Amino acid sequence: MDLGEILIDVAAARQPGTPRSSHENRREKAFAAPVIVALGASIVAGGPIPELEQMLSVGAATMNMLNAIHALGYGGFWATGIDTYDEKLKAALDFEPDDKLLGFLFIGTPKNQERTAFRPPRAQHFREWLGRTSI
Ligand SMILES: Cc1cc2nc3c(=O)[nH]c(=O)nc-3n(C[C@H](O)[C@H](O)[C@H](O)COP(=O)(O)O)c2cc1C
């Protein structure tokens, strides 16, 4: 079964009683980009590496992928959305039950020129620590 069909199935299962045909628009997501990477984490609990750090590593790896994608002249976009947290979709993508699906990386050639995104003032996200005289 292809991804488009699966996306329709899981959307229909989320809303029992609705006809499958009413979820036909979910198919579009499967064709939103020529390459779609499902991002996952297989967290090892109780080991030497804190679970939070393992999760952060997925973010770092994904950022590296985005940098490589852009350096090669392509575009990439990380999106989560309701499908990401759907256990049925996770299983259909052959993730193990304890694995986490962390979204999708849509990769392709951008249709439009890159826009300059609004960036909030740096001061909202940054503080300089200058030491202190006592604790
Ligand atoms: C974990 C994660 C999940 C995201 N999920 C979505 C999403 O579901 N929908 C969306 O529009 N943007 C989502 N974004 C944001 C976009 O990927 C992108 O970072 C944002 O649009 C800012 O892009 P820009 O920095 O080029 O302006 C997500 C970002 C991250 C890091």
Task: State residue 130 phi and psi, 5-degree precision.
Answer: -110, 20
Nearest Cα residue to 39 out of 124, 116, 130, 104: 104
The protein residue with its alpha carbon nearest to ligand 1, atom 29, reads 78
Q: In this structure, is residue 107 part of a structural domain?
A: yes
Q: In this structure, is residue 51 part of a structural domain?
A: yes
Spatial strand order in the sheet of 75-79: 35-41, 100-108, 75-79
User: Residue 34 and residue 78: Cα distance in Å, rounded?
Assistant: 14
Q: Which CATH number goes with the domain that contains 72?
A: 3.40.109.10
Query: What phi-psi label fits residue 59: left (phi over 0), alpha (psi between -120 and 50 degrees) or beta?
Result: alpha
**Which of 57, 78, 107, 113 for mutating ligand 1's site (highest number of atoms within 8 Å of CB)?**
78
Per-residue pLDDT of the chain (135 residues; tens, 9 = 90+): 899 999 999 999 999 999 999 999 999 999 999 999 999 999 999 999 999 999 999 999 999 999 999 999 999 999 999 999 999 999 999 999 999 999 999 999 998 877 888 999 999 999 999 999 998
Q: In this structure, is residue 19 part of a structural domain?
A: no
